[in-house]
Amino acid sequence: MTYRTITIARDVQFAAKQTAAESRERFARQGTLVVNLLSSPGSGKTSLLQATARHWQGRHTMAVLVGDIATDRDAQRLTPLVPAVQLTTGGACHLDLALVQRGWEALAVADVEFLFVENVGNLVCPASHDLGEHLRVIVLSVPEGDDKPAKYPKAFRTSQALVINKTDLLPYVPFSLQQATEDARLIQPQLEMFPVAALHDEGIEAWCAYLERQRERLREAV
Amino acid sequence: MTYRTITIARDVQFAAKQTAAESRERFARQGTLVVNLLSSPGSGKTSLLQATARHWQGRHTMAVLVGDIATDRDAQRLTPLVPAVQLTTGGACHLDLALVQRGWEALAVADVEFLFVENVGNLVCPASHDLGEHLRVIVLSVPEGDDKPAKYPKAFRTSQALVINKTDLLPYVPFSLQQATEDARLIQPQLEMFPVAALHDEGIEAWCAYLERQRERLREAV
């Protein structure tokens, strides 16, 4: 009897990469920019999306797939403004592409210009999973402290933009915008920065203009 | 040729549980209360430990094992006050018992009354790992929002105490102490609550008195 070793891990990873690339391509062809939002719990991803929806109302279309371990509270906050589906992982620390695909089918919207995937609040695990997004954006809130880029490097290294939220709290907590920016750009020199106070609709115009530009570039590239 | 199925997973889990129980027992016999601190990134675990060290200075002894994905910034903040060793996971989303044991050896302190293990900032993965602690404490900061107990239930369900930090920010953000408390106690009715503002040394006396009582109970039980 002879034995052969079959390396499964490589095939599985290759298949996952290909599926993500295909999903990315499909959304690009239909003109939908897919944005994967990463952050700690409570940094304000849902508030940022609410402010984004208010800013675009009547001008641009968006939908949200929102991931959580338990509860559908975030989807409840979003559905008065935009189509949203809650993805509940039941314990898992990050979203995966299969969940995103099921969520997209459940959304059942014919076409949207922007599809946001609000990941589980976690600065570690989601950084290792490609959801077929065109843009990965990290949200860091001021009260979390300016040392987060250095302490959670992978999430920052794999992102294209950084939203610094809750800037209205700058007078009350120790946080240096300069320190956070320098640390983040040491890790990812091309990182675009957007200071905002989502609850107060501050800084949202620049953030939305950036997303609009990214979608234009996507459409030109197809 | 005949085949037998050997269930490895169960043995490994059993061995891990036994090792954690043995570690817990060993620390109890030497009079050291081991406290595992869980929270989101930036909720103020290190600041809480700095305030605790200031409060106990000259009266009680403590040491800290501090976990992070990268950097030794938290250990640098603590070592002027107490013995501290940084445990860098190099990407892993939680601490494990083997790292804690190596950290304890590296600390090389003869005896301390309180050993704090400051886990990686993550409300998901650390909840599933027993580090041989006597007490699991979750730190939730006010700007993270009062919806976190319902959204991250396992971390709250497996903890004995909840420290609500940054209460000085209550006037500036939407956060209901009552809502957070009710939600947390739905999940874990025995959860003890300690509102604090660690940066301003507020609420620290009650928190420290609780830890002192827990250590007394541990010594009586040995």
Look at residues B145, B189, B172 and name the one whose alpha carbon lies nearest to residue A73.
Answer: B145
Token digits of residue A177? 């915008």
Q: For chain A, which ranges sit under pLDDT 50?
A: none
The complex scores an ipTM of: 0.89
Arch. (CATH architecture) of B31-221: 3-Layer(aba) Sandwich (3.40)
Q: How far is A124 from chain B (nearest CA, A)?
A: 6
Tokens 């992978």 locate to A154
Q: Are B201 and B194 in contact (CB under 8 A)?
A: no
User: Which amino acid, one-letter code, is at B158?
Assistant: T
Count CB-CB contacts under 10 A for residue A182.
13
Q: Which two tokens stand for residue B166?
A: 């940054």
Span B12-35, mean pLDDT? Answer: 91
**Token pair in block for residue A25:** 């391509």
Q: Do B93 and A174 touch (CB under 8 A)?
A: no
Question: Which amino acid, residue A117?
Answer: V
Q: What is the pLDDT of residue A111?
A: 85
> Percent of chain B at pLDDT above 90?
90
Cα end-to-end distance, chain B, whole Å: 52
Residue of A nearest to B1 (CA): A1
User: Which residues have CB under 8 Å from A26's CB, separation 6+?
Assistant: none
What are the residues facing B70 on neighbouring strands? none
B contact set with A (CB within 8 A): 1, 40-43, 68-71, 73, 91, 93, 120-125, 141, 143-145, 147-148, 150-154, 166, 168-169, 172-174, 199
B116-154 per-position pLDDT tens digit = 999 999 999 999 999 999 999 999 999 999 999 999 999
pLDDT tens by residue, B44-74: 999 999 999 999 999 999 999 999 999 999 9
- Nearest residue in B to A175, CA atom: B42
Are the C-beta atoms of residues A94 and A125 closer than 8 Å to each other? yes
Instruction: Give the count of beta carbons closer than 10 Å to the beta carbon of residue A76.
Output: 13
Beta strands in A51-198 (DSSP E): 62-68, 84-88, 114-118, 135-141, 161-165, 192-195
The pLDDT value recorded for residue B189 is 97
| Interchain contact, A151 vs B122, CB within 8 Å | no
How far away is chain A from the Cα of B172, in angstroms, using its nearest Cα? 8
Phi/psi region, residue A166 (left: phi>0; alpha: psi -120 to 50; beta: rest), is left
Select from A91, A144, A154 the Cβ nearest to the Cβ of B42: A144
* Sheet of strand A62-68, all strands in order from the earlier edge strand to the far edge: A84-88, A62-68, A114-118, A33-39, A135-141, A161-165, A192-195
Task: Parse chain A into domains and list their residue ranges.
Answer: 31-221
Q: Which residues contact B171 (CB under 8 A, 6 or more apart)?
A: none
pLDDT at A17: 83
The DSSP call for residue B5 is: -
pLDDT at res. A110: 82
Buried b (16+ CB within 10 A) or exposed e, B92-126: bbbbbbebbbebbeeeeeeebbbbbbbbbbbbbbb
Report d(CA A202, CA B28) in Å as an integer: 52
Distances (CA, A) of B218 to A125, A171, B19, B65, B95: 35, 43, 19, 20, 24
Cα B222 to Cα B30: distance, rounded to the nearest angstrom:
10
Residues 6+ apart with CB under 8 A from B189: none
What pTM does this model have?
0.92
pLDDT given for residue B54 in this prediction? 98
Give the gap in angstroms from C-alpha B138 to the nearest C-alpha of chain A.
13
In single-letter form, the type of residue at position B69 comes to: I
Report the chain A residue with the minimal C-alpha distance to residue B71: A151
Amino acid (1-letter code) at residue A53: A
